Amino acid sequence: MPSKKGRVFSGIRPTGRAHLGNYLGAIKNYVALQDEYECVYCIVDIHALTTVEDTLDLRTNTFEMALDLLAAGIRPEETILFIQSHVPQVTELHTFLSMVTPLGKLTDLPTFKDKVRQNPNNVNYGLVGYPVLMAADITLYRTDLVPVGIDQAPHIEFTREIVRSFNYRYNTDVLIEPGMKNTEIPKVLGIDGKEKMSKSLNNHIEIAATPEETRKRIMQMVTDPQRIKRDDPGNPEVCNVFALHKIFTPQVDVDMIDVECRRAGIGCVDCKKRFAENLNQAFEPFRARRAALAAQPAQVHAILADGAERARALAEETMQAVRRAVQLP
Ligand code: SF4
């Protein structure tokens, strides 16, 4: 195998079964990156605690996300896939990094303000320190690159600032400033056609759903709002179904829909049925692999345990250098 270009790290929240937005925005890219990079992927259960108060489903949701990642094509024999809390060194590094991170900067971050708006009754310390824990995740594994969409670039810049502060404070170069692997992350709208696809808004389509469930969700999708009647000509460029057709439908059919929609030659019901067929076809192999993995939970837990062991080895190496740099007695 040709040598890889460097180490990529990314964390994904344990939100249970992934939806189309998770898949197109992160998971698909995770799979592709394996061809060129040494990849370390983490299901960030500790991060989830900042907003999840009832942890009853946390284990199940973490397991479901692991199933989705593996079924989508994460190759555990080469990629390190693990659960964040199984590498406790991350919380130790988080503590050290928090000493060099000004509180004002954290509370000024737009993401913190958003979280406060979303969780006004649970503004906990963890929410403030979230970017520091993220910096710990990234630096613990001596990450070269973090895959990011344009809107996430400031988070990585913030990690780089924390790394510089740490290295300056302790006169060391032990932590590496991560680079960014700019990635085109499509904004996937939910079936409401307005908001980003999200479980909390219940506007999502799960990639592991059955073909029938998928079809039902697709038939509920909002299309071009100007197209009220079957005879009205439509505008594919403002239609969310069309946006997804462009990803899952052969180009020749996309071109046909583009033309036919504009002259009311195809109705939205038929257009959605075609999309449902194509989406179900695209995820058929994924669903078969997922079902096989779900039938062998012990094997999935063994994969995650092996990933955690390999991640702990990397983490401990970093932490030994960090502890030396901090000159702990
Ligand atoms: Fe959208 Fe298709 Fe309806 Fe056109 S025909 S508005 S592309 S769902």
Residue spans of the domains in the chain: they are 7-188+297-326, 211-291
Q: Is 249 in the pocket of ligand 1 (CB under 6 A)?
A: no
Q: Is the CB of 239 under 6 A from ligand 1?
A: yes
**pLDDT band for position 186 (cuts 50, 70, 90):** confident
What is the spatial distance between Cα 84 and Cα 65, in angstroms, rounded to a whole number? 13
Q: Is the CB of 218 under 6 A from ligand 1?
A: no
Task: Enumerate helices (H) and strands (E) in the chain, giving the number of each.
Answer: 14, 5
Residue whose pair of structure tokens reads 């079936």 in the numeric block:
191
Choose which residue among 191, 232, 241, 258 to substitute to test ligand 1 binding: the one with the highest number of ligand atoms within 8 A of its C-beta. Answer: 241
The response to whether residue 221 sits with its C-beta less than 6 Å from ligand 1 reads: no
User: pLDDT tens across 266-286, in order?
Assistant: 999 999 999 999 999 999 999
How far is Cα 138 from Cα 324, in angstroms, rounded to an integer? Answer: 20
Which of 13, 43, 49, 14 minimizes the C-alpha distance to 126? 49
| 7-188+297-326 and 211-291, same CATH topology | no
Q: Which two tokens stand for residue 129?
A: 């320190």
Known catalytic residue at 5:
no
Token pair of 267 as six digits: 């109705």
Instruction: For ligand 1, say whether the CB of 257 is within 6 Å of any of its atoms.
Output: yes
| Ligand 1 atom at minimal distance to the Cα of residue 260 | 5
Residue 223 Cβ inside 6 Å of ligand 1? The answer reads yes
Q: Which residues does 228 contact at the CB level (< 8 Å), separation at least 6? A: none
Q: Tokens representing 293?
A: 């993995």
Find out whether the beta carbon of 275 lies less than 6 Å from any atom of ligand 1: no
Burial of 200 (0-12, 13-18, 19+ CB in 10 A): exposed
CATH code matching the domain that covers 7-188+297-326, chosen among 3.30.70.940, 3.40.50.620, 3.40.50.720, 2.40.33.10? 3.40.50.620
* Active-site annotation holds for 196: yes
Is residue 123 very low, low, confident or very high in pLDDT (cuts 50, 70, 90)?
confident
Per-residue model confidence as pLDDT tens digits over 45-58: 999 998 877 888 99
For residue 222, the SS3 value is coil
Give me ligand 1 centre to Cα 199, in Å: 24
In this model, does residue 65 exceed pLDDT 70?
Answer: yes
Residue 217 CA to ligand 1 centre (angstroms):
15
**Cα–ligand 1 centroid distance for 198 (angstroms):** 22
| Catalytic member of 113, 196, 216, 246 | 196
In SS3 terms, 231-250 reads as CCCCCHHHCHHHHHHHHHCC
Cα–ligand 1 centroid distance for 234 (angstroms): 6
Q: Which CATH superfamily is domain 211-291 in?
A: Tyrosyl-Transfer RNA Synthetase (1.10.240.10)
Whose tokens are 């390190």? That residue is 80
> If DSSP codes are grouped into helix, strand and coil, which group holds residue 181?
strand
Distance, CA of 217 to CA of 205 (rounded, Å): 7
Which pLDDT value is given to residue 2? 54
**Is the CA virtual torsion 163, 164, 169, 172 positive or negative?**
positive
Q: Mutation test of ligand 1: which of 223, 230, 235 has the most ligand atoms closer than 8 Å to its C-beta?
A: 223
The pLDDT tens digits for 274-318 are 999 999 999 999 999 999 999 999 999 999 999 999 999 999 999
pTM: 0.93
